[in-house]
Amino acid sequence: MGMTITQKILADHTDLKFVRPGQLLNARVDIVLGNDITAPIAIEQFKKANAKTVFDKQRVIMIPDHFAPNKDIKSAEQCRILENFAKQQKLTNYFEVGEMGIEHALLPEQGLVLPGDVIVGGDSHTCTYGALGAFSTGVGSTDVAAAMITGELWFKVPETIKFIYCGNLNPWVTGKDLILYTIGDIGVDGALYKAMEFTGETIDSLPMSGRLTMANMAIEAGAKNGIFIPDETTEKFIKSIAKRSYKYYKSDANASYSDIKEYDVSRIEPQVAFPSLPSNTKSINDVGHVKIDQSVIGSCTNGRLDDLRLAAKVLDGKKAAPYVRLIIIPATQQIYRQAMREGLFEIFLDAKAVISTPTCGPCLGGYMGVLASGERAIATTNRNFTGRMGHPKSEVYLANPAIAAASAVLGRIGSPEELD
Amino acid sequence: MKLKGNVWKFGSNINTDAIIPARYLNVIDPEELAGHCMEDENPQFVKEAKEGDIIVAGTNFGCGSSREHAPIAIKAKGISCVIAKSFARIFYRNAFNMGLPILESADATDGIQNGHEIEVDLVSGEIINKTTGKNYKASPVPPFMQKIIDDGGLMGYIAKRRVFRNE
C-alpha cells in the first residue's frame, strides 16, 4: 500500500517508514506560528508550564497582524505580550509593524515555510502553506504552547480526499473560484478531519498565488490540511527565497484515498459565496441584484500581488460607485512596495480606493472597514459568517478580486464583463 | 463523573465567530470572554445560562477559526459539557487541551430539545433526558484523548511524558 504526500511528510517527521490514516503519532514540527490573537494565551500556557526557552528560536515565529497596527488599547496590550516574549526569547522571526505582513502571505514570501515541512500555527488559515507541498495545519493556543516547548505535537494521520481539476479556466476564474466551487460542492464539513489533495491539469498550470488561495480555504471545508504536489511552479517560487533546505514529496500511485472528486473547470464561472457560510455559493450569473456598501480586496486569502494586479486590471480608468467604500489591503510590505512601483496605487487612488497598511483588520470585523447594521460587503476574504465583518445584521459575500473590484464600480455584485 | 443541567440547543455549523465574536478577541480574560459567549447567536444565552447548563448542537460545532477563546468562553460561562453530532477539528483538539468536556451523539442531539433537563455520565457516555425519560449513548472518548483528560489537559500530559513513544 502506498502513501499520500500527507502520510509521507508525517512519517518522515516521526522516523517511521509507514503511517496509516487514523494512526496517532508525535511529529517533529519545523515551524510554530503565533499571532496577536492566539499567542498571548499560548505564552500564558508556556509560562504556567514553567518552560524557560522555546525549542528553537529560529523556528518559533510571532507576527502581530490581526489587530495591528494596534487598533485600541486592549489590542496594544496583546501585541506587547508578543513583543516582550520575542525579546525575552530572542526570536529571530518576530515581525514588528513596518516589516510585518499578514502571516500567511508573509511566511511564504520570506522563504520561512518550505516544501516538506510540518508547520503548526495558532491560526486556522495556517493550512495555506500546503500550497508549497508542506503539511501545515491550524491549532489552538495550548497546542502552540506545547509545540513551542517540545518542538513536537501529536497528530492523527488524516485520510485524504483527492480533488482533480481538468480543463481550461474561463475568463475571470481564479484559484478562489475553484476552492469556493469545491466548498459549495462538498459543504463546510465535507472534508472534516481530512486532507484535501489538489491535483489535475488545471492545477499544473495554476500559479502559486492561486494555489495559496486554494490551500488557504481548505479549513472552510473542515479539512485538517490542503496540499499540492510540488512541481516546477513550486521550484521557481521557492528556490531563490528558501532560508533552509527543503524536500519534495509526492503521493504514490497506489496511495489510498477516502474519496476522489473530479471537476471540469470549463463549467465553472466566477463564484460568489452568499451569507452566512462559505459553502453557500452561486455562479456570478445567478447572483441577481445585490447592492453593496463596501468592497474589501486583501486578506491572507487574496492580498497577494497577483490579486492586486487583477483588481487593477478591472479598476483601470474606473471609479467606485457613489456611496461605495473600496478598501484595498496589500498583504505584506513587499507586496505594498511592488504594487506602488508598478503603478497600481495610481489606478486604485483614481478609483477612489483607500490603500491600507497590511492587516487582517476588516476580515474578522476588527477595524479598517467594520460594517454597520444592514450593510453589505463583497470581500476577497475567507469567511462570511454572521457578523464576521461587523454588526450581526451586516452581510459578507465572498468572491475573487476581479469580482470584488467590478462590484465596487457597479455598486452591486457583478462581473468585469458588465463594465464598459 | 456525572453532570446534570438544563439544555441550550443550537443548530449546525455553530462557528467560533458565533461562540465568541472576533471583536472581543482583544482580551484573553475568561470572565470577560464569557460575558459575550454566543451573544450574536442567542442573546438570551449570555443573560440566562446558568452554572452547569449543557449545550446541545448539530454537526460541525466550533467550525471556523482556531481561537481557543471559544472553548474558554464556554467553560468560563459555566457550561459543564457540549454534546454535538460532530465537532470541527480544531475546536475538538482545543476542548480536550483546555479541559472542556465534549461528547458526540447524533441521537441525543435529535432527541433533546431546548430547556430539557439531562444527565450526562462522562465516563460511560450515557446521556439521560430527565424531561422525556429517554436514554442515549455518546461515542466513547478515544483512549488517547482520555489520557489527555486524565492528565488535566495537554500541558499536564506533556509535563508527565516529555518522551512520547510513537504508536
DSSP letters for chain B: -EEEEEEEE--S--BHHHHS-GGGTT---HHHHHTTTTTTT-HHHHHH--TT-EEEE-SSBTBS---THHHHHHHHTT--EEEES-B-HHHHHHHHHHT--EEE-HHHHHH--TT-EEEEETTT-EEEETTT--EEEPPPPPHHHHHHHHTTSHHHHHHH-SS----
Which neighbouring-strand residues pair with B74? none
Please tell me if residue B156 touches chain A, with a CB cutoff of 8 Å. no
pLDDT at B162: 62
Q: Shortest CA distance to A31 belongs to which of A101, A98, A92, A102?
A: A92
* Per-residue model confidence as pLDDT tens digits over A310-327: 999 999 999 999 999 999
Nearest CA in chain B to A194: B89
Which of 107-166 (A) contact B at CB < 8 A? 121-124, 126, 138-143, 145-146, 149-150, 152, 154
Q: Kindly indicate the confidence band of residue B151, based on its pLDDT and cuts at 50, 70 and 90.
A: confident
Measured CA angle at A267 (ends A264, A268), to 5 deg:
100
pLDDT at B165: 37
Which CATH number applies to A272-419?
3.30.499.10
Q: How many CB atoms lie within 10 A of CB A14?
A: 20
CB–CB contact B60 A192 (8 Å): yes
pLDDT at B164: 40
Instruction: Please tell me whether the overall predicted TM-score, pTM, comes out greater than 0.95 for this model.
Output: yes
pLDDT at B163: 44
Domain locations along chain A: 5-263, 272-419
Interface residue of A28, A41, A81, A142 to substitute, partner B, most B CBs within 10 Å: A142
pLDDT over 90, % of chain B: 80
pLDDT at B166: 40
Q: Which residues contact A245 (CB under 8 A, 6 or more apart)?
A: none
Length, in residues, of chain B:
167
Report how far apart, in Å, the C-alpha atoms of A156 and of each of A9, A150, B84, B121 are. Answer: 13, 18, 21, 26
Interface residue of A141, A300, A395 to substitute, partner B, most B CBs within 10 Å: A141
Find cell 518522515 and name the residue. Answer: A12
CATH-assigned architecture of domain A5-263: 2-Layer Sandwich (3.30)
What's the CA gap between B93 and A198, in Å, rounded?
Answer: 25
Q: Is the pLDDT of residue B147 over 90?
A: no
Shortest alpha-carbon distance between residue B152 and chain A (Å): 12
The separation between the first and the last C-alpha atoms of chain A, rounded to the nearest angstrom, is 56
Question: What values do phi and psi take at B73, rounded to 5?
Answer: -65, -40
Please tell me if residue B158 touches chain A, with a CB cutoff of 8 Å. yes
Shortest alpha-carbon distance between residue A344 and chain B (Å): 31
Output the nine-digit C-alpha cell for A29: 514540527
Sequence letter at residue A103? E
Q: How far is CA B24 from the centre of its chain?
A: 20
Output the nine-digit C-alpha cell for A224: 485538517
Q: How many CB atoms lie within 10 A of CB B132?
A: 13
Q: What dihedral do alpha carbons A263, A267, A270, A271 form, nearest 10°?
A: -60
Nearest CA in chain A to B60: A189
Pairing between strand B117-121 and B2-9? antiparallel
Q: What dihedral do alpha carbons B97, B100, B105, B110 form, nearest 10°?
A: -140
Output the nine-digit C-alpha cell for A372: 454597520
The dihedral built from the CA positions of residue A353, A357, A363 and A365, taken in this order, carries a sign that is negative
Give me the residues of chain A with pLDDT under 50, please: none
CB–CB contact B28 A72 (8 Å): no
Which of 177-196 (A) contact B at CB < 8 A? 188-189, 192-193
Please tell me if residue B72 touches chain A, with a CB cutoff of 8 Å. yes
Asked if the interface predicted TM-score (ipTM) of this complex is over 0.90, the answer is: yes
Residues of B in contact with A74 (CB under 8 A): 26-27
Same fold, A5-263 and A272-419: yes
Q: Shortest CA distance to A380 belongs to which of A356, A363, A357, A359?
A: A363
Shortest alpha-carbon distance between residue A190 and chain B (Å): 10
* Per-residue model confidence as pLDDT tens digits over A262-278: 999 999 999 999 999 99
CB A228 within 8 A of CB A202: no
Pairing between strand A271-273 and A281-283? antiparallel
What value does the mean pLDDT take over residues B105-109?
Answer: 97
Shortest alpha-carbon distance between residue B132 and chain A (Å): 31
Output the nine-digit C-alpha cell for B10: 443550537
pLDDT at B143: 85
What's the CA gap between A372 and A390, in Å, rounded?
Answer: 7
Interface residue of B14, B68, B91 to substitute, partner A, most A CBs within 10 Å: B68
* Per-residue model confidence as pLDDT tens digits over B72-104: 999 999 999 999 999 999 999 999 999 899 999
Strands (E), A144-300: 152-156, 160-166, 195-199, 225-228, 259-264, 271-273, 281-283, 294-297
Residues of B in contact with A64 (CB under 8 A): none
